[in-house]
Amino acid sequence: MLTELVPVPAGSFRMGSTSFYPEEAPIHTATVGAFGIERHPVTNAQFAEFVDATGYVTVAEKPLDPALYPGVAEADLLPGALVFRPTPGPVDLRDWRQWWDWAGGANWRHPFGPGSDTAGREDHPVVQVAYPDAAAYARWAGRRLPTEAEWEYAARAGSTTTYAWGEEPTVGGALMANTWQGRFPYRNDGANGWVGTSPVGAFPPNGWGLVDMIGNVWEWTTTPFSAYHLPPQQNSCCPPPADPDPSVSQTLKGGSHLCAPEYCHRYRPAARSPQSQDSSTTHIGFRCVVDLD
């Protein structure tokens, strides 16, 4: 069953930030048309329905094309994906390779590799989906992926504050999103009730009734990443489900359960991050939109 769509009115808003990371600048006025956005990220159960109906095979389930990865050993071209592994203790946070492993056999069915599965997490966001996988689902659903501007506009829900819920990361001491609680990347205390992804809707909705816009999983957008904000992108539909281009990065929004104040202070509407189109990881998902004009 497809996710309920929440109508978002056309409008303009102040997009971006100059208070955190340079790629969030400049602050500028962005305008979007009316659209509907899925109330929550696509879940494991929903993605399974899509795969069952179409026989779709995700990027992580296919061997990598040697032509796209010159110099990479044959053993590293086997199907697989990136998996988060906590470190034994404190590490240099400038080297992400210390907590990300390439796991052969990791994919959306087996997020952490062989021996793992999604049993009991049917209502968690699907992960290990590359950009073409998200686009393929959107096309099957008669929907599309959002632009970065659409996504941020919906996440803000009319707010102008640092966080979607105010100026502080908590409200009355309550956590408002699924983010890392403890010391990254070696100790997650699970103070929010979850270590890893959480069921969609486990945290309060924003002002427009959308859940998990912040935290839980990063979400794909159709906007190519740049080191700063570029002129607005047209709302053209998602690209066809084809082989990804590893040289092209898309803009991710929303932060994830791996975001922590000392490492990834990106659990904010203005935050943005690059990810190559071929990347499948344990902390990236997506949601879809439709035009209402």
Q: Which CATH superfamily is domain 5-291 in?
A: paralog of FGE (formylglycine-generating enzyme) (3.90.1580.10)
Where do the domains of the chain lie?
5-291
Rounded to whole angstroms, how far apart are CA atoms 140 and 143? 7
Structure tokens at 247: 């040289």
Strand partners, 31: 12
Q: Is there a contact between 106 and 80 (Cβ–Cβ < 8 Å)?
A: yes
Per-residue CA distances from 100 to 103, 112, 119, 227 (Å): 9, 11, 23, 23
Tens digits of pLDDT across the chain (293 residues):
899 999 999 999 999 999 999 999 999 999 999 999 999 999 999 999 999 999 999 999 998 888 878 888 887 788 999 999 999 999 999 999 999 999 999 999 999 999 999 999 999 999 999 999 999 999 999 999 999 999 999 999 999 999 999 999 999 989 999 999 999 999 999 988 999 999 999 999 999 999 999 999 999 999 999 888 887 665 555 554 456 888 899 999 999 999 999 899 999 999 999 999 999 999 999 999 999 97
Rounded to whole angstroms, how far apart are CA atoms 68 and 245? 8
At residue 65, the pLDDT reads 82
What pTM does this model have? 0.94
- Quote the DSSP letter at residue 27: P
Q: Is there a contact between 287 and 42 (Cβ–Cβ < 8 Å)?
A: yes
Q: Is there a contact between 91 and 185 (Cβ–Cβ < 8 Å)?
A: yes
Instruction: Say if residue 152 is exposed, middle or buried (CB neighbours under 10 Å; 0-12, 13-18, 19+).
Output: buried
Q: Is there a contact between 246 and 216 (Cβ–Cβ < 8 Å)?
A: no
At residue 69, the pLDDT reads 80
Mark 56-84 as b/e (b = at least 16 C-beta within 10 Å). Answer: bebbbbeebeeeeeeeeeeeeeebbbbbb
Rounded to whole angstroms, how far apart are CA atoms 235 and 288? 12
Sign of the alpha-carbon dihedral angle for 186, 190, 194, 197: negative
Rounded to whole angstroms, how far apart are CA atoms 230 and 4? 31
129: left (phi over 0), alpha (psi -120 to 50) or beta: beta
Start-to-end C-alpha separation, the chain: 24
At residue 242, the pLDDT reads 59
> What is the SS3 assignment for 131?
helix
Strand partners, 144: 289
At residue 239, the pLDDT reads 54
